[in-house]
Amino acid sequence: MGILEVKDVNKRFGGLQALGDVNLSVQENTVHAIIGPNGAGKSTLLNCLVGKLIPDTGSVMFDGQSVLGRTPFEINQMGISRVFQTPEIFGDLTVMENMIIPVLARRDGSFKLRAIEDVRDEKDLIQEAEAMLDEVNMLDKRNMHSASMSRGDKRRLEMAMCLVQKPKLLLLDEPTAGMARADTNNTIDLLKTIKARGDITMCIIEHDMHVVFSLADRITVLAQGTPLVEDTPENIKGHPKVKEAYLGEAA
């Protein structure tokens, strides 16, 4: 029984079958990559996991509970954090303020009216946020206006915001899309460090094979909305079906 169990999920948009009988099982504390050509339904699948879309049929269980019909914030409170393809951060706020919000969300739940306390008095929260910033090498940028940072920095901030919540499952939607080589390598290193701690499950959608093969424990290949194969990276590399559907096309 994996921490995330997707069973017979179907999703249709008008005449287009975006997902057809998707079954997926992600084991706890592993890195599971989902790859596939454009239009394979990767993003649709991800949106079904976080409550943005509701599948027509099928079930999505996380940690023994169904996520279907829950809103994104409820699903996050269950322990799923998400990194977006283009970094989604609070651009009007400073880096530190960006970090404090997820820490508060984890401690206080989805809503708590605390209007008289001062944020700056929350010493332990600030410490926790600072420690996380340190881990992603951004402590020196703590007072920066986050919208004015480079894309790589925004990505690192977004990841730090997700990680500081100590999620059970981290979903990453093309975390290195549009990044320079150096930034990509930094991201891989960061994800490797997190993985090495062995207390987090990650599910990555990615185009960059370098990223996938250096991180993933299992890989699912999605094509035309249906999982083609699921196996270890070594086996996927030589799989004829995959070559035909994906690598052949890409190469």
Which residues of the shown chain bind another protein in the complex (CB under 8 A)? Answer: 50, 71-73, 76-77, 81-82, 84, 88-94, 97, 100-102, 104-106, 108-120, 122, 143-145, 148, 161, 165
The separation between the first and the last C-alpha atoms of the chain, rounded to the nearest angstrom, is 36
CB of 90 to another protein, least distance (A): 4
Nearer CB in complex with another protein: 142/237: 142
Angstrom distance (rounded) from CA 219 to CA 212: 8
For another protein, the closer CB: 105 or 216:
105
CB of 108 vs another protein, minimal distance in Å: 7
Q: Please tell me the distance from the alpha carbon of residue 89 to that of residue 136, in angstroms, as a whole number.
A: 16
- Closest CB to another protein among residues 107, 241: 107
Q: Which residues contact 136 (CB under 8 A, 6 or more apart)?
A: 156, 157, 159, 160, 190
Nearer to another protein, 68 or 229 (CB): 68
Q: Shortest approach of another protein to residue 3 CB, angstroms?
A: 18
Separation between Cα atoms, residue 189 and residue 8, nearest integer Å: 35
- On whether the CB atoms of residues 176 and 206 are closer than 8 A, the answer is yes
Q: Least Å distance between CB 172 and another protein? A: 13
